[in-house]
């Protein structure tokens, strides 16, 4: 379980296809405090740590199944790519975002980026099947970042990124055409499911 509050921006060091995809991610996290088998959200995808090291820099390895690759943007991972990271929520941690599972529902596409004051307004297009779960002033997780939806028009929705969010995540690099991992709000999913039985 996660909150969508990014706590590090890692960097892909290398990837290997060995049946599944294996990736090494450089991090500022203290790897002595990470256990093998721990969950870390990487661009919003809950992944399991399978190896750790600190030479020449702190790093951890994750293995990603073909199923996960097919549902996310992790096939875009190449050495040097920066990724949003979040350690799993611990009992007693501050819940600053919203409850995020790290189970990506699909990919949204960036269709517009424009400055708005000191912020940046980004418009995304969600897959039609997920659009019904996105509501104005509701929450979404995009590349692992908990965000508030400003407006919705059909399958398109807008989000403002304040300067702080742009500087501590990968959102300062957003561009039209980017594919981003989308996790809809869990509550919205359950409400929609309950309405099927009304």
Regarding whether 123 and 157 lie in a shared domain, the answer is: yes
Regarding whether 121 and 80 lie in a shared domain, the answer is: no
Contact assessment for residue 29 and residue 13, using Cβ atoms and an 8 Å cutoff: no
The whole-angstrom separation of Cα 111 and Cα 159 is 12
pLDDT for the residue numbered 190: 67
β-partners of residue 23 are 15, 62
Pairing of strands 82-87, 39-42: antiparallel
* C-alpha 90, offset from chain centre: 19
Residues 25-81: tens digit of each pLDDT: 999 999 999 999 999 999 999 999 999 999 999 999 999 999 999 999 999 999 999
Regarding whether 190 and 117 lie in a shared domain, the answer is: yes
Residue 3 resides in a domain: no
pLDDT for the residue numbered 92: 67
CB-based contacts of 2, cutoff 8 Å, min separation 6: 41, 46, 86, 88, 89, 99, 100, 101, 102, 144
Confidence (pTM) = 0.91
Range of the domain at 63: 8-87
Regarding whether 71 and 129 lie in a shared domain, the answer is: no
The segments of the chain whose pLDDT lies below 50 read none
Regarding whether 79 and 40 lie in a shared domain, the answer is: yes
Q: Select from 83, 87, 101 the least CA-distant residue to 140.
A: 101
pLDDT for the residue numbered 193: 65
Q: In CATH, what number is assigned to the domain containing residue 12?
A: 2.40.30.20
């Amino acid at each position: 379980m996660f909150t969508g509050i990014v706590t590090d921006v890692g960097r892909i060091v290398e990837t290997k296809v060995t049946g599944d995809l294996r990736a090494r991610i450089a991090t500022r996290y203290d790897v002595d405090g990470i256990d093998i088998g721990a969950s870390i959200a990487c661009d919003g995808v809950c992944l399991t740590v399978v190896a750790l090291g600190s030479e020449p820099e702190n790093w951890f390895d994750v293995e990603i199944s073909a199923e996960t690759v097919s549902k996310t943007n992790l096939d875009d991972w190449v050495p040097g790519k920066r990724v949003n990271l979040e350690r799993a929520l611990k009992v007693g941690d501050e819940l600053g975002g919203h409850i995020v599972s790290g189970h990506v529902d699909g990919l949204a596409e960036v269709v517009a980026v424009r400055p708005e004051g000191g912020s940046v307004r980004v418009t995304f297009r969600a897959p039609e099947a997920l659009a019904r779960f996105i509501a104005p002033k509701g929450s979404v997780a995009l590349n692992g970042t908990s965000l508030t939806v400003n407006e919705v028009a059909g399958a398109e929705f807008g989000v403002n990124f304040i300067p702080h969010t742009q500087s501590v995540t990968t959102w300062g690099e957003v561009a039209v055409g980017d594919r981003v991992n989308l996790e809809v709000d869990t509550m919205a999913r359950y409400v929609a499911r309950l309405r099927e039985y009304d």
